[in-house]
Amino acid sequence: MPTTDVGESGFMHYVSSQIDPTLDWSVVDWLLRTTKLPVLVKGVMRGDDADEAVRRGVQGIIVSNHGGRQLDSAPATIEALPEVVRAVRGRVPKAYFQLKAYEIPWASTWEHSRADFEASQLDQQSKTFIKKKTTSSNGMQAHG
């Protein structure tokens, strides 16, 4: 598989080897012609990509950084959401976004907790309603 030239960095060479640079919008066009199933594009993090996906006829967009929490320079999904919503300008009839973040305890005495963030009902004016619910392993809930 061809890779992007990343110089001498072994880590960056590995990362770039995991990405297929031959994938482009023609693959989405082919998929839309080939199947009668709904086509969703995952990994959209920019408004121009969201606009292109809708223009080409996809039925949905999944705003995702594909687990970018492992890369400290990757933007958070929730940060990309407003730009994507503005770009589609109501051309996607209903949007639903859910981000689940799991806290890994730093010490065995810390409780493993779960945080669910939901942003739903992104209307045509790009208003975002965010509900945050945090539940710890002891069953206590905090809403904010």
Q: What is the rounded CA–CA span in Å between residue 80 and residue 65? A: 9
Inter-residue contact 25 to 52 (CB < 8 Å): yes
Residues with a catalytic annotation lie at 66
Task: From 115, 117, 121, select the one nearest 134 (Cα to Cα).
Answer: 115
Is 128 within 8 Å of 122 (Cβ atoms)?
A: yes
Euclidean distance between CA atoms 144 and 141, whole angstroms: 10
What CA–CA distance (Å, rounded) separates 24 from 41? 12
